[in-house]
């Protein structure tokens, strides 16, 4: 008996498969692209292939992420806030604060020792401080998203980037470049600016150690260093950090298949009176 | 998506008072807008007022018809007319940061006051009662210039520390005497104190009944939603105070609620969460916003927005025996004119009295008098009082600021966590 979580994010779609002992047996990651349903199906299939399983081996599937309602084979949907918290605690049981930076949103979540979500906060209406901000910086400097983190770490004199707008930051970077500033110093400044915004978001929910960093941007070593520098403490980062949402979703799948009580909306409930 | 189920099974006879309040209100609003459209013809003087802390009873006693630009903006929002009107004002140069209600109103002026509710009359007098909101001043200054009519400022002091100083009441009373002199000049009629007292007695009657409506939400399950429904029920208290029709309206609402209690029906089929709501609704997406809560079985058992037109549930009443002083006292005791500490205290009282599980804050970009301090409320309730609190953001008038996917995500995550806590803690996670 196996269980699946499929995390359909704005930029990438991830799938994770757990066995009944909650061990990870398969995973996948691919760009979401324009066809959300197909991305969910492909990610699921790739994870099945990696585990050497067939679809009928999977007892329960939970969808999460922005596209969670577009997982046609999903039995239930859980928000990525709950899933990231659950996934982070699966890998780092001491986690109390989670910072998740994805393609277009950033969230801070505070959890109790038993994994209960105590509070969360997210960026609103604006991609400043998210993966998109780094994409914009990489593009204008002619580098790839994989290159900018390591390059930033070679800086010895970081510049201060004051702009937090994803659109306007390009102009600020160009003006630094035209003045002959070093790429690594600019990039260190960009990473530090995002770290500052992320910390402000985390302070809204309260920063309790241990802090676990999840989402696509956590794969960037420059970002990990910038956050640790601002925080003055080490943070947990897993090689699986991009998959923690899918792993959390698969954990929910295990619980639900085993009949544990699970929160869910009253889909289909009627509205009795009113109707303004 | 959610299945549409018939409201009642065939075996159950229909409710006698189903939507009684709503139907009566629709009729009252239609009559009011009809009277406004004919104001010029009937030679009735027209005053423009704001809702919060307004002195409509005084104008009623002089025979004025009253236009509330905020109500017009609200109506345009819910009738999906706000977007194009806001763009008209932006084309004229109003910034995207200016309040959506203001821009909606400027948009209406630019199309000769032709509104989805009917033709609106020009004002004979603008009275800026700017309880709690300084944008009001600039709004009516702009209207005074556009219409070239007299503007009277009624400066209502902010309630800072809980006690209303006598000199603040005296300050408003002295201004009210000036307003009375202006009304006499505009209408050619003399001030009739007995008539004002008669009108205020009717206000007080309606205020009693309005409080009875709100109090029904202490029941578990609640027969009403004190936000999503109360924002309609508040129309009487905000627009029609001082009339017998307003008193009758609340009788109809109370009859409808009594029947709901008898039948055991409420705003959702099964009440799962009771919350206190802070902030105004997103009018252009009202139903969509409500659905995001209904799908979790959420009922708002108390809310702050319906108290912008007066904190009557704290015991405030208009007093026919001291008419002018009572208008002054009323003007100060409107929700957004209270300090942040007093607002937090009120919400904490609501959480207890209405047996709520959580606080939900809907912050709107347009309204600074509401949204300033809401981040601090969130911190104070989550950390200081250990009350689950959700903060979501959009706008009350501008449809461009409503991001359904983001809102759904936050609302789902919040109630998911609340439900999880309830399922996994022995006390059930209730407060």
Give residue-wise pLDDT tens across range A194-207.
999 899 999 989 99
Same domain, A142 and A229: yes
Distances, alpha carbon B403 to alpha carbons A268, B37, B299, B398, in Å: 23, 36, 22, 12
Confidence class for position A127, pLDDT limits 50, 70, 90:
low
Task: Tell me: pLDDT of A263 over 50.
Answer: yes
Give CB contacts under 8 A, 24+ apart, made by B234-237: B234/B210, B234/B306, B234/B309, B235/B25, B235/B28, B235/B29, B236/B25, B236/B28, B236/B206, B236/B210, B237/B206, B237/B207, B237/B210, B237/B309, B237/B310, B237/B312
Of B216, B395, B357, B207, the closest CA to residue B277 belongs to B357
* C-alpha span between B76 and B283 (Å, rounded): 9
What share of chain A in percent tops pLDDT 70? 92
Q: What percent of chain A has pLDDT over 90?
A: 61
Secondary structure in 3-state letters for B162-212: CCCCHHHHHHHHHHHHHHHHHHHHHHCCCCCHHHHHHHHHHHHHHHHHHHH
Global pTM?
0.87
Segment A44-61, tens digit of pLDDT: 999 999 999 999 999 999
Q: How far apart are CA B295 and CA B1, in angstroms?
A: 10
The dihedral through the CA atoms of B399, B113, B96, B228 has a sign that is negative
Predicted confidence at residue A260, as pLDDT, reads 67
Rg (alpha carbons) of chain A, rounded to whole number: 20
Question: Going by DSSP bridges, is the β-strand pair B65-67/B151-154 parallel, antiparallel, or unpaired?
Answer: unpaired
Q: Are residues A139 and A34 in the same domain?
A: no
Task: Provide the shortest C-alpha distance from residue A249 to chain B (in Å).
Answer: 13
pLDDT of residue B326: 96
Q: Give the pLDDT confidence score for residue B240 in this predicted structure.
A: 96
**Residue A190 and residue A123 share a domain:** yes
Averaged pLDDT, A94-110 = 91
Residues 6 or more apart whose CB falls under 8 angstroms from that of A130 comprise A101, A102, A103, A104, A105, A106, A123, A166, A217
Both A107 and A151 in one domain: the answer is: yes
CB contacts, 8 Å: B418 with chain A: 263
**CB distance A116–B421 less than 8 Å?**
yes
Q: Which residues contact A203 (CB under 8 A, 6 or more apart)?
A: none
Residue A268 placed within a domain: no
Per the listing, tokens 């709950």 go with: A82
User: Cα separation of B122 and B128, whole Å?
Assistant: 16
Are residues B416 and A79, on separate chains, in Cβ contact within 8 Å? yes
Instruction: Identify all chain B residues contacting A124, using CB atoms and an 8 Å cutoff.
Output: 393, 406
Taking CB atoms and an 8 Å limit, are B420 and A268 in contact across chains? no
Whether A272 maps to a domain, the answer reads no
* Tens-level pLDDT at each residue, chain B (431 residues): 333 333 444 456 778 888 888 899 999 999 999 999 999 999 999 999 999 989 999 999 999 999 999 999 999 999 999 999 999 999 999 998 899 999 999 999 999 999 999 999 999 999 998 777 888 899 999 999 999 999 999 999 999 887 899 999 999 999 999 999 999 999 999 999 999 999 999 999 999 999 999 999 999 999 999 999 999 999 999 999 999 999 999 999 999 999 999 999 999 999 999 999 999 999 999 999 999 999 999 999 999 999 999 999 999 999 999 999 999 999 999 999 999 999 999 999 999 999 999 999 999 999 888 999 999 999 999 988 999 999 999 999 999 889 888 899 899 999 998 988 787 665 544 43
Better pLDDT: A226 or B420: A226
The answer to whether position A273 is within a domain reads: no
Residue at A167 is within a domain: yes
Q: To the nearest whole angstrom, how far is the Cα of B330 from the nearest Cα of chain A?
A: 29
Would you state the structure tokens that stand for residue B325, as one six-digit string? 């002083």
Closest by Cα among A133, A135, A180 to A161: A133
Identify whether residues A120 and A227 lie together within a single domain.
yes
Chain A environment of B424 (Cβ under 8 Å): 114, 116, 261
pLDDT at B85: 96
Q: What is the mean pLDDT of chain B?
A: 92
In a domain, A229, yes or no: yes
Q: Which residues make Cβ contacts (< 8 Å) with residue B92, sequence separation at least 6?
A: B106, B110
Dist CA A37 CA B61 (whole Å): 64
Q: Is residue A90 part of a domain?
A: no
Distance CA B70, CA A262 (A): 43
Rounded average pLDDT over A76-91:
92
Instruction: For A144-180, write each residue's pLDDT tens digit.
Output: 888 999 999 999 999 988 876 777 888 888 899 999 9
Q: What is the ipTM of this complex?
A: 0.78
Domain boundaries, chain B: 20-424
- Provide the domain limits for residue A15: 2-85+242-257
* Number of domain units in chain A: 2
- pLDDT of A274 above 50: no
CATH number of the domain residue A182 falls in: 3.30.420.40
Q: Assess whether A17 and A114 both reside in one domain.
A: no
Q: Do B295 and A266 touch (CB under 8 A)?
A: yes
Q: Which residues of B are less than 8 Å from A102 in CB distance? A: none
| Confidence at residue A124, expressed as pLDDT on a 0 to 100 scale | 67
Given pLDDT bands bounded at 50, 70 and 90, which one contains residue A270? very low
pLDDT value at residue B421? 79
- Cα distance from B224 to chain A (closest Cα, Å)? 9
Q: What is the model's pLDDT at position B173?
A: 97
Predicted confidence band of residue A267 (pLDDT cuts 50, 70, 90): very low
**Lookup result for tokens 């009557």:** B312
Does the residue A265 lie in any domain? no
The predicted structure's pLDDT at residue B187 = 94
Cβ burial of B167 (10 Å; 0-12, 13-18, 19+) is exposed
């Amino acid at each position: 008996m196996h269980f699946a979580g499929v995390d359909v994010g704005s930029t990438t779609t991830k799938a994770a498969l757990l066995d009944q002992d909650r061990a990870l047996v398969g995973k996948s990651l691919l760009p979401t692209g324009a066809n959300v349903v197909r991305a969910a199906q492909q990610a699921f299939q790739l994870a099945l292939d990696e585990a050497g399983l067939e679809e009928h081996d999977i007892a329960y599937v939970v969808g999460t992420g922005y596209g969670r309602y577009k997982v046609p084979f999903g039995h239930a949907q859980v928000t990525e806030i709950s899933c990231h918290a659950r996934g982070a605690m699966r890998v780092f049981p001491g986690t109390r604060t989670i910072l998740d930076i994805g393609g277009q949103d950033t969230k801070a979540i505070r959890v109790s020792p038993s994994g209960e979500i105590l509070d969360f906060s997210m960026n609103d209406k604006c991609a400043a401080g998210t993966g998109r901000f780094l994409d914009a910086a990489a593009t204008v400097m002619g580098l790839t998203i994989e290159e900018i983190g390591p390059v930033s770490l070679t800086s010895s004199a970081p510049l201060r980037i004051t702009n937090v707008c994803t659109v306007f930051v390009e102009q600020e970077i160009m003006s630094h470049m035209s003045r002959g500033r070093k790429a690594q110093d600019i990039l260190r400044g960009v990473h530090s600016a995002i770290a500052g915004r992320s910390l402000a978001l985390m302070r809204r929910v309260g920063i309790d150690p241990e802090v676990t960093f999840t989402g696509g941007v956590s794969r960037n070593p420059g970002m990990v260093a910038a956050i640790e520098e601002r925080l003055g403490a080490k943070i947990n980062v897993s090689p699986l950090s991009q998959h923690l949402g899918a792993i959390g979703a698969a954990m929910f799948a295990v619980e639900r298949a085993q009949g544990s009580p699970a929160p869910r909306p009253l889909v289909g409930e009627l509205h009795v009176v009113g109707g303004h | 998506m959610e299945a549409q189920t018939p409201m009642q099974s065939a075996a159950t006879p229909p409710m006698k008072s189903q939507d009684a309040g709503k139907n009566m209100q629709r009729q009252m609003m239609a009559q009011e807008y009809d009277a406004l459209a004919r104001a010029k013809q009937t030679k009735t003087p027209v005053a423009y007022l704001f809702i919060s802390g307004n002195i409509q009873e005084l104008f009623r006693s002089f025979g004025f018809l009253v236009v509330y630009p905020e109500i017009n903006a609200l109506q345009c929002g819910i009738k999906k007319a706000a977007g194009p009107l806001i763009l008209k004002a932006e084309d004229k140069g109003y910034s995207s940061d200016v309040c959506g209600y203001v821009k909606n109103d400027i948009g209406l002026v630019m199309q000769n006051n032709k509104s989805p509710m009917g033709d609106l009359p020009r004002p004979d007098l603008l009275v800026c009662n700017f309880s709690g909101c300084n944008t009001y001043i600039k709004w009516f200054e702009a209207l005074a210039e556009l219409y070239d009519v007299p503007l009277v400022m009624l400066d209502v002091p902010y309630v800072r520390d809980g006690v209303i100083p006598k000199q603040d009441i005296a300050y408003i009373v002295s201004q009210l005497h000036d307003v009375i002199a202006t009304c006499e000049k505009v209408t050619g009629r003399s001030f009739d104190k007995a008539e004002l007292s008669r009108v205020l007695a009717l206000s007080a009657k309606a205020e009693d009944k309005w409080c009875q409506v709100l109090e029904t939400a202490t029941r578990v399950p609640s027969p009403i939603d004190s936000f999503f429904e109360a924002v309609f029920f508040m129309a009487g208290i905000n627009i029609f105070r001082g009339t017998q029709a307003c008193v009758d309206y609340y009788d109809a609402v109370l009859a409808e609620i009594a029947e709901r209690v008898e039948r055991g029906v409420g705003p959702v089929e099964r009440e799962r969460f009771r919350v206190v709501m802070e902030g105004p609704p997103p009018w252009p997406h009202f139903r969509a916003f409500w659905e995001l809560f209904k799908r979790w079985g959420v009922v708002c058992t108390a809310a702050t927005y319906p108290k912008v037109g007066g904190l009557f549930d704290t015991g405030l009443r208009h007093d026919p025996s001291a008419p002018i002083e009572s208008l002054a006292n009323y003007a100060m005791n409107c929700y957004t004119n209270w300090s942040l500490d007093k607002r937090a205290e009120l919400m904490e009282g609501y959480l207890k009295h209405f047996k709520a599980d959580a606080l939900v804050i809907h912050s709107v970009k347009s309204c600074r008098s509401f949204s300033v301090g809401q981040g601090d409320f969130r911190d104070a309730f989550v950390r200081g009082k250990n009350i689950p609190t959700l903060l979501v953001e959009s706008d009350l008038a501008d449809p461009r600021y409503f991001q359904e996917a983001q809102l759904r995500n936050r609302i789902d995550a919040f109630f998911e966590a609340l439900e999880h806590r309830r399922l996994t803690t022995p006390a059930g996670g209730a407060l």
